[in-house]
Amino acid sequence: MNAEKIMEGLSRFAFATASLVLMALSFALVVYGVVEVASVGISSWKDAGGTVLSAIGYVVIAMAVFDVAKYFVEEEVIRGREMRLASEARRSLTKFISTIAIAVFIEALVMVFRQGQQDVGLILYPVAVLITAILIILGLGGYQRLSASVEGEVDAKDRAQDKVDEKNGAGRKK
């Protein structure tokens, strides 16, 4: 076994381990949010609004963390570092960034509602988070726009190389 294969195996193991830890932590956040709401429900519903908003924030963060872990599993553990078409990479990145942007938008909205109930003077931070989410979406749109023209050219070359590899019996490197 050569050093490259050993490093690839170690890399996949590290990504798999990190993904499992992230998934466990995301589930822990969801459980924590549910326990918080249940404990407020048992004691007094008077303070339930803030607790429910906090629980929503925990669940949103948990979704984003879980999606990062899922991305690691799909892209680094299952697929490894195999070559892919540019369109596949763009779709994968778009899906990942979209999930993160949605999580940031929801968290910002939760923060706006929370600050609206407490101190409206502190609304600037939630607004900054909303602006950040908008910039993420604009950046993703810019990336897609710039990569669309290059994608057709690169994909055509990749497909042509795949046909040559198939004829020679090499196939894609996995």
What is the model's pLDDT at position 67? Answer: 85
The dihedral through the CA atoms of 151, 154, 156, 160 has a sign that is negative
Question: Are 87 and 155 a contacting pair, CB within 8 Å?
Answer: yes
Higher pLDDT, 36 or 151: 36
- pLDDT tens for residues 1-17? 688 888 888 888 998 99
What is the model's pLDDT at position 157? Answer: 73
Amino acid at 108: A
The whole-angstrom separation of Cα 64 and Cα 111 is: 16
The number of CA neighbours under 13 Å toward the Cβ of 152 is 4
Q: What is the mean pLDDT of residues 50-74?
A: 84
- pLDDT tens for residues 128-156? 999 999 999 999 999 888 887 777 777 67
The structure tokens listed for 82 are: 């195999």
What is the model's pLDDT at position 137? Answer: 95
**Which of 98, 73, 79 lies closest to 17 in space, CA to CA?**
73
Question: Are 54 and 111 a contacting pair, CB within 8 Å?
Answer: no
pLDDT of 119 > 90? The answer is no
Mean pLDDT of the chain, nearest integer:
81
pLDDT band at 93 (very low <50, low <70, confident <90, very high): confident
Amino acid at 68: V
